[in-house]
């Protein structure tokens, strides 16, 4: 069953990859038991999937944790897939911010990273909702 939902996730990702003109990217999809940075036992985007990018080489790894069934209101698998593809769409910019933070004073890095992560998630979620609301088929 988990396999089936992972395949469904990849299928939606590939559909959104085409819509967002991300054809030049090399994307690897991995099913995982747990998302490292995700809050434990919550079913938010950040605990269901994560995307790592190297924008300079157009490489991305998308990890997906199959959500448990029947607990609260999960985002749909298509929402999660669209969300992760938007992360890739913005990767040139977000990777730049991450490298700028690496050059910041060490005492500032943790706070800058936290603020960037929050701003990035809000922006990606906002764009994902607009895209999902306007999708056809």
Q: Which residues make up the interface to Zn ion (CB under 5 A)?
A: 45, 121, 124
| CB of 108 or CB of 118, closer to Zn ion | 118
CA distances from 35 to 28, 65, 109 (A): 16, 7, 22
Least separation in angstroms between residue 23's CB and Zn ion is 21
Tokens of 98: 């991450």
| CB of 6 or CB of 79, closer to Zn ion | 79
| CB of 93 or CB of 108, closer to Zn ion | 93
Least separation in angstroms between residue 132's CB and Zn ion is 14
Least separation in angstroms between residue 128's CB and Zn ion is 8
3-state helix, strand, coil in the chain (%, to 5): 60, 15, 30
* Distance of alpha carbon 55 from alpha carbon 70, whole angstroms: 36
């Amino acid at each position: 069953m988990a396999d089936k939902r992972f395949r469904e996730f990849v299928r939606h990702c590939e559909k959104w990859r085409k819509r967002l003109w991300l054809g030049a990217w090399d994307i690897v999809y991995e099913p995982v038991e747990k998302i490292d940075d995700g809050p434990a036992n919550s079913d938010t985007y950040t605990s269901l999937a994560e995307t790592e990018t190297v924008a300079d080489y157009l490489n991305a790894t998308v990890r997906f944790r199959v959500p448990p069934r029947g607990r609260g209101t999960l985002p749909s698998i298509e929402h999660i897939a669209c969300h992760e593809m938007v992360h890739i769409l913005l990767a040139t910019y977000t990777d730049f911010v991450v490298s700028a933070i690496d050059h910041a004073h060490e005492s500032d890095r943790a706070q800058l990273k936290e603020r960037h992560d929050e701003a990035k998630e809000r922006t990606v979620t906002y764009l994902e909702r607009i895209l999902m609301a306007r999708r056809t088929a």
